[in-house]
Amino acid sequence: MEILMAFVIGILFMSATYLMLSKSLLRIIIGTGLLSHGAHLLILTMGGLKRGSAPLLGEHAEHYTDPLPQALILTAIVISFGVTAFFLVLAYRSYQELGTDNVEDMKGTEPND
């Protein structure tokens, strides 16, 4: 199971890298979304995918799945939500101000503009 997940995560990382190297800003943001999906799936996989009950004590099971990676993912998900929302608004704002979403046109370090 872990092997399969490793391939899935690898493909997610691959697509994310490809998208983030493209010119359009929206494709880059989609790339960051895929990258965080990959990272979150990786935490889940690395915590182990052994069979066990959901981590609820009311289940009275013999084995539970590891609750720690799930807490980590939950934290990482909300953080990446916040950052992605900020990034999208930033992209929207710079589309209004700079009039382009092509990152090739966002060059230059002309002082004080």
Partner 1 sequence: MTNLIILPILIPLFTGVVLIFLNKRITGQRVVAIFSSIGTMIAAGVIVQKVRTDGIQSLNVSSWDAPFGITLVSDMFSALLVLITSIIAFACLIYSFKSIGQEREKYYYYAVFNFLLVGVNGAFTTGDIFNLFVFFEVMLMSSYVLLVLGGTKIQLRESIKYLLVNVISSALFVVAVAYLYSVVGTLNMAHISSRINEISVNGMPGILTVIAVLFLIVFGLKGAIFPLYFWMPGSYYAPPAPVLTLFGALLTKVGVYSITRTYTLFFYHDMDAFGILTILAILSIVFGVIGAIAYWDIKNIIIYNIIIAVGVILYGVSVLNTASLTGAVYYLIHDMLIKAALFLLVGIVITITGTSNLRNISGLITRYPGLGWTFFIAALALAGIPPLSGFVGKLLIVQGGFEGESFIGGFITLMSSLLVLFSVMKIFINGFWGKDRTYGGEEKAPVKQLLIAPAILVAISALYGIGSEFILPYISQAADTLLNPKLYIDAVLKE
* Three-state helix/strand/coil letters over 36-73: HHHHHHHHHHHCCCCCCECCCHHHCCCCECCHHHHHHH
User: 53 vs 91, which CB is nearer to partner 1?
Assistant: 91
* Three-state helix/strand/coil letters over 69-105: HHHHHHHHHHHHHHHHHHHHHHHHHHHHHHCCCEHHH
60 sits in the region (left: phi over 0; alpha: psi -120 to 50; else beta) called left
User: 11 vs 103, which CB is nearer to partner 1?
Assistant: 103
Q: Which residues of this chain interact with partner 1, rule CB under 8 A? A: 20, 25, 28, 32, 35-36, 38-40, 42-43, 45-48, 68-69, 72, 75-76, 79-80, 82-83, 86-87, 90-91, 93-94, 97-98, 103, 106, 109-113
User: 8 vs 20, which CB is nearer to partner 1?
Assistant: 20
The minimum distance between CB 53 and partner 1, in angstroms, equals 20
The minimum distance between CB 54 and partner 1, in angstroms, equals 20
